[in-house]
Amino acid sequence: MERKIRLYCFSFAGGTAQIYHSWTKYVDAAIELVPIEFSGRGRRFSQPLFTNLVDMVEDVFSIIQPDIDQKPYMIFGHSMGSLIAYELSKKLIQSGNQGPLHIFFSGRSSPNQPPKKKRYQLSDEELKKEIFQFGGTPIELLDDPGFISLFLPIIRADMKAVETYPTEDKITPLHCKISIFNGKQDHLVTNLEEWNHYTTKEIEYQFFEGGHFYLHDQAKEVVDVVNQKAHDYLSAKIN
């Protein structure tokens, strides 16, 4: 295999692949950055929105599965993207494909914890208030009718996918190392230690300044950690 590692990146609810654009100036040459665009937004705006996580995972699987065995790979998922990263990894392995070298689960409680609210059922005004409290979305945008008409259906669909995701009765641990990233001031994520059950290998925790959307301000710090992991794997392969 070529001495390069792919990094598949999955966004949060309501997000697009564009959120990882800033990473291009920090990511090491050893990494091939591959942000995945979910259906119904960004470059795929004309395609249907999914309201079921199984359908979202199936869609992502169809995009990356044909090339997944060409290079070793890692996965980074933030918030909703962490759930997709977990379910996709299971599906790839069950399909006979190579598993990831490493997964970075960011800004997300473990899959065995049920959602505290059903936000997708809120009225538009109530949902806007919830989004503002998350941080990451300026109030000017939330007051812009044009933005809201495009954004609200996307985040409502994503929230429904996440909030109707069936809590696992039996955990399926992955056979790769995992890193848990979170903002130091993120009060949306709880019981991070539950992630200990999700791998048979090593797990580590990294905390960054900021709240749920710490990624916006800490891109370099986050990518520095990812770069180091890639180098660790490549060095181990050489030696």
Q: Is the dihedral of CA 189, 122, 147, 35 positive or negative?
A: positive
Please say whether the beta carbons of 77 and 132 come within 8 A.
Answer: no
Is 11 catalytic? The answer is no
List of residues 6+ apart from 214 with CB closer than 8 A? 107, 182, 183, 184, 185, 186, 208
CB-facing half-sphere around the CA of 203: CA atoms within 13 A: 17
List of residues 6+ apart from 210 with CB closer than 8 A? 183, 184, 185, 186, 216, 217, 218
Pair of tokens at residue 9 = 């990146």
| Catalytic residue chosen out of the listed positions 11, 39, 79, 109 | 79
**Looking at the annotation, which residues are catalytic?**
79
